[in-house]
Amino acid sequence: MTSLAQAVFIGSLVVTLLVVVLLVAVAVEHGARTRRLARDARRRAELTPLVHALLDGDAGDEAAMTAAPALLDELVLELLPQLRGADRTALQSVLLDRGVVTRAAGDLTARGAARRGRAAVLLGNAASVEHTGALVELLGDRAPEVRNAAARALGKNGDAAAVGPLLAAVTAGQPLPPGVAGMALLDLGVAALPSLRAALDAGFPVAQTLAAELLGLHGDPASTTTLIALVGDDHRDPHARRAAAQALGRIGSPVATAALADVLLGSGHAPLQCAAAEALGRIGDAGGLRALTTGLRCAPTVDVRGACADALALTGDAGHRQLVAHAQLRSATGEAARSALDVLALSRRPARQAAAA
């Protein structure tokens, strides 16, 4: 065997040995992971009766609960978001008694961003209103993931005092994404409504826009008057006015018809006019029908005419008759009417097919 052949043979042997070692290492790691998972599953099964006893108000031996491993805390934290009322309160007390909440509160000022974020998530799941102030401070954290975690935690803990800071955070120097703030504010529920109404007249336009959107999602009738004032104010931000128009449409009060009609026929801002038209279609009263018909004929842009036609399709038979009449015109108005009728026909087809079946 030549020296070259010997070198090739030795090299192949070394590579083969390395592959074998690698396969053995993978097998060992896989086996260890399988054993860890099995051990965790076994421990979870052993701790599940204790969790059920806690929910039933019969914890049994308190010493056993105190001595339980950290896996008990994980089980409780996994269950908390699914619970309400007395069950949720019972498990929150477990986290307090075991010092989990206290340790998490201490980690809110940790050096590592991941640690601060995990602490905020835990406090949110624990619904710890005692730490609202500390979580509010994290809305200005240098790490965006920590700011987001703090916002979500504030939404889960149910403290209405967080509404103002959450709205302010969307326009801070290190801003919170409006979507994250909005979800947190929705999680706070109806407790946030008074502060959201007040925000329509205060703060930056971004916060006013977000407040209007949320009030519309809640369908809050108590905000109607303030939303009408916002949508009709030519000096206010058009995005905030558009959000107010959309909110009024969701609330559905005919009290808003006159203001929305004025915006549709006179604002000159096409996205706002489209939102006003949609809102009038949702409300569906006679005054809105007249404004939408006028907009269909006279609006200066195709988008607004189309929005008026689509809104007329929402108003029932009276709107349908207007669309049919205008569909005969050979103009942009007629084209918008025909398009709306086509969409309306498509939306009705499944219902007709179901009725025939």
pLDDT, tens digit (0-9, with 9 covering 90-100), for 161-192:
999 999 999 988 889 999 999 999 999 999 99
Supply the pLDDT for residue 128.
Answer: 73
Supply the pLDDT for residue 280.
Answer: 97
Contact 156, 190 (CB under 8 A): no
C-alpha angle 257-263-265 in degrees, rounded to nearest 5: 100
69 class by beta-carbon count within 10 Å (0-12 exposed, 13-18 middle, 19+ buried): exposed
Distances (CA, A) of 303 to 222, 224, 270, 331: 31, 27, 7, 14
C-alpha angle 209-312-337 in degrees, rounded to nearest 5: 115
Residues in the chain: 357
Specify whether the backbone of 60 is left (phi greater than 0), alpha (psi in -120 to 50) or beta.
left
The residue assigned the tokens 């020296």 is 3
Cα–Cα distance for residue pair 92/103, rounded to 1 Å: 14
pLDDT in tens, the chain (357 residues): 577 777 777 778 888 888 888 888 888 888 878 777 777 667 666 666 766 666 666 655 555 566 667 777 777 777 777 767 777 777 777 777 778 888 888 999 999 999 999 999 888 888 778 889 999 999 999 999 999 999 999 998 888 999 999 999 998 888 999 999 999 999 999 999 999 999 999 879 999 999 999 999 999 999 999 999 999 999 999 999 999 999 999 999 999 999 999 999 987 799 999 999 999 999 999 999 999 999 999 888 899 999 999 999 988 889 989 999 998 888 888 888 888 888 877 765 444 444 444
Distances (CA, A) of 142 to 2, 131, 163, 173: 66, 19, 21, 10
Type of residue found at 167: L
Q: How far is CA 170 from the centre of its chain?
A: 15
Supply the pLDDT for residue 350.
Answer: 47
Q: What is the pLDDT of residues 239-287, one digit of tens each?
A: 999 999 999 999 999 999 999 999 999 877 999 999 999 999 999 999 9
Contact 235, 206 (CB under 8 A): no
Question: In the chain, which segments carry CATH 1.25.10.10?
Answer: 71-199, 228-351
Assigned CATH topology for domain 71-199: Leucine-rich Repeat Variant (1.25.10)
Supply the pLDDT for residue 186.
Answer: 95
Supply the pLDDT for residue 40.
Answer: 66
Class level of CATH domain 228-351: mainly alpha
Distinct helix (H) and strand (E) counts, the chain: 20, 0
pTM: 0.76
Cα–Cα distance for residue pair 182/176, rounded to 1 Å: 10
